[in-house]
Amino acid sequence: MKEQVLLPEKKQEKQVKLLEEKKLPDKKQKKTGKKSEDKNLPDIDLKEKPEKEIIEVTDKKTGTKKTEKREKKKPVKSKKETKSKNVKTEGQTDTDSDKGIDKTEVAAEEVEAVAEEVAAAPEAQAASIEKEEPTARPAVEEEKKPEEVIENYEQLTKEQLVELLEATVKEPDVTSIKTKIALIKVAFLKINKIEKDRQLEKYIAEGGVEEDYSPPEDQLEERFKLSFSIYKQNKAKYNQEQEKLKQDNLEKKKQILEELKVLISSEETLKKTYDEFKILQERWKEIGMVPQGEINNLWQSYHFLVEKFFDKVKINKELRDLDLKKNLESKIKLCEKTEELLLETSILKSFKQLQKYHEEWKEIGPVANDKKDEIWERFKAATDKINERRREHYAKLYEDQKNNYEAKSVLCDKAEKLIAIEISSIKEWQDHTEQMNELFKIWKTIGPTPKKQNDEIWQRFKSSMNTFFTNKKEYFVEIKEQQVNNYNLKIDLCVQAEAMKNNTDWKKTTREMINLQKEWKNTGPVPRKNSDKIWKRFRAACDEFFNSKSEYYANIQDHEVNNLKLKQELIQKVEDYKFGEDKKENLKVIKEFQREWMDIGHVPIKEKEKLQNEFRLAVDKHLDNLKISSTEISTLNYKTRIEAMKDSQSVKNFIFKERNFISNKISKLREDVNLWENNIGFLTDTINANILKAEFEKKINKAKQNLTNFEAKLKVLVNFNREKNEKK
């Protein structure tokens, strides 16, 4: 005690700063009585000292620190302890102190009094921080540079975000840009997701299936990924450098521990020993962070040696009282800051800040016995209110998510009803597609559901959408096939109309033209790209015929009288004509007579039937004599028609379409003949069966005749095409 009295007041002030590096001893090691893991420390059997506790505390505001030791009292379950069990804090520890302290010395008694305050500190430091969110605090924290953060990056465009990221990653200090990088990333991914969702929606709305969708390349996204990769490389390099620095710091601190051991064993004067101890403590504080796995062991060793040193120098009562007073002031300020968090509108922000305050509370150290319960209850009360508000927030959030689940279930029901409806027209598909897209828009506005149900409800809705658009695609594939078939049918109608447009048999041709127009209306739609063109073609042929008819009937009497005379002359010409032995030439002549007859036009109605019979009689008389069949005449007429088109620019397209048309007719006639012949085989020998059999035979004969005619026409087309290619 004499050495301590000789110290001046200035030296006592230095003693106040001895505990700026404060860490609690490892709870598990102290309780189990294990020795320090540092092999270089003296063998101190903590198990032999179960009745003592050692703790070191720091006033973070003033920098005042101290080490205290007291005899450990047997735990008694008081109301305060019961409450503390419900509020779990990471810093709470139970420590054992050493035996063998000389209780005859006054200084030792003062140290024990201080330790008695410290022993109760773990209970007072308990805090109701959520178990699932523990935070580990390093022994020495790095000095973090403030970050300059733009408040709202979502106002920037995608390109601006990429340019900002490219500029930011060039900054050398990765720790100062961490938050900025994260905010840029969140804003970019949000914009990118909205773009991709819109592209997918457009693709689906146009009839695509989500599984077939492949997003287009995005140069901005590639630039973003490249810059973010540079940032991660820089960060990894920084972490490696920090790890090496921590290893160096570890070796330096181990060296200080060795010097502390020597100092504790030194027989030098107290003044010299104290000065050397202060230098070691300053060196310890200046070193910085060490590897996380070494923090506890390193601190236990340091704390043990510091406590042993204070045992040696006997910290006086005034130092302890000053430390307790400053600790109380710090904890009062911390209570005030915690109570201010109740005014914070952000639940997440207030909860994170509360965790930091609890870490600060654990570092401050004990207060006087008569104040420790009061100050702890105040801090705990504010903590409980913040935690309760957080629980209420998440309870409401969960309730909202359940409501979202119910809302999305309703959308799923509606989507499933949509796919159950049988749709038979394009308009209905368009209407139902709008309804499905509207359901999807509503879906995106609802918000998340409980995590366990989120994937299930989405898969249900997604399945309905996929089924709907798959059915739609199949329908339009079938419609497209029908439209192509309708197009071919309308091409045939155009060909027929063009073949009749110059026919002057006005009555018959008018009737046939009207029938063609009815067929046109009943045929159905064609592909949109061909619709206007083919309609104009058909209408032009019809208009040409009806315009010619109108002109004709404007001067019908003069034409009919002249036509009567011409047809009478033609009949006489046919009757007087002498045919030769060349059958082909004879057919050609007959065809010319028929063409000339058709070209003459109408005659007075009262003479029409008479003239027609006379002409047909004259022609048939020659046909009977020449033994020429109707098929041969039809084939010859068809060949003449084809040859007349040989110089036409559209002949190639006409031949192609005509061959397809005739081939389809031949296939259909053959199928009909086979079917009818098979049906005849099933008929029994009864009166009704014979009637049906006669009808089938009549159909078969007619079909075979038509089949012969079409086969002859197809042969004409093949030969014509071959001759045309040979000339080329």
In a domain, 703, yes or no: yes
Q: What is the pTM of this model?
A: 0.32
In a domain, 550, yes or no: no
Determine the pLDDT at residue 542: 92
The CA distance from 357 to 331, in Å, is 10
The CA distance from 285 to 713, in Å, is 108
In a domain, 446, yes or no: yes
CA separation (Å) from 650 to 64, 645, 646?
105, 8, 9
Domain count, the chain: 2
Phi, psi of 164 (to 5 degrees): -65, -40
Last residue of a domain, one of 425, 458, 482: 482
| The two three-digit tokens of residue 491, written as one number | 């091409």
Single out the residue of 177, 151, 155 nearest to residue 166, CA to CA: 177
Q: Cβ(408)–Cβ(457) under 8 Å?
A: yes
In a domain, 706, yes or no: yes
pLDDT digits (tens, 9 = 90+) for 634-661: 776 677 667 656 666 677 788 888 888 8
Identify the bridge partners of residue 233 per DSSP, sorted by sequence position: none
Determine the pLDDT at residue 336: 92
The ranges of the chain with pLDDT < 70 are 1-151, 270, 313-320, 624, 626-630, 633, 636-637, 640-641, 643-649, 683-689, 726-728
In a domain, 702, yes or no: yes
Neighbours of 21 (CB within 10 A): 20
Last residue of a domain, one of 482, 503, 531: 482
Single out the residue of 667, 715, 644 nearest to residue 498, CA to CA: 644
Determine the pLDDT at residue 139: 34
Strands 65-71 and 52-58 turn out to be antiparallel
Determine the pLDDT at residue 644: 59
215 backbone φψ class: left, alpha, beta (φ>0; ψ -120 to 50) = beta
pLDDT digits (tens, 9 = 90+) for 337-358: 999 988 888 888 999 999 999 9
Cα-Cα-Cα-Cα dihedral sign, residues 499, 505, 509, 510:
positive
Helix, strand, coil in percent for the chain, rounding step 5: 75, 0, 25
The CA distance from 722 to 716, in Å, is 10
In a domain, 674, yes or no: yes
- On the 0-12 / 13-18 / 19+ scale of CB atoms within 10 A, 578 is exposed
| DSSP-derived secondary structure for 136-173 | ---SSPPPPPPP---S-GGGS-HHHHHHHHHHHTTSS-
In a domain, 312, yes or no: no
The CA distance from 679 to 728, in Å, is 49
Determine the pLDDT at residue 648: 65
The CA distance from 516 to 594, in Å, is 25
Find tokens 């499933």 and name the residue: 416
- What domain range is 722 assigned to? 649-728
pLDDT digits (tens, 9 = 90+) for 148-199: 444 578 889 989 999 998 999 999 888 888 888 899 999 899 989 998 899 8
Q: Cβ(151)–Cβ(102) under 8 Å?
A: no
The CA distance from 123 to 79, in Å, is 12
Determine the pLDDT at residue 382: 92
Q: Cβ(96)–Cβ(52) under 8 Å?
A: yes
Q: Cβ(191)–Cβ(162) under 8 Å?
A: no
What's the number of CA atoms in the CB half-sphere (13 Å) around residue 569? 8
In a domain, 604, yes or no: no
pLDDT digits (tens, 9 = 90+) for 102-112: 332 333 333 33
Last residue of a domain, one of 482, 507, 538: 482
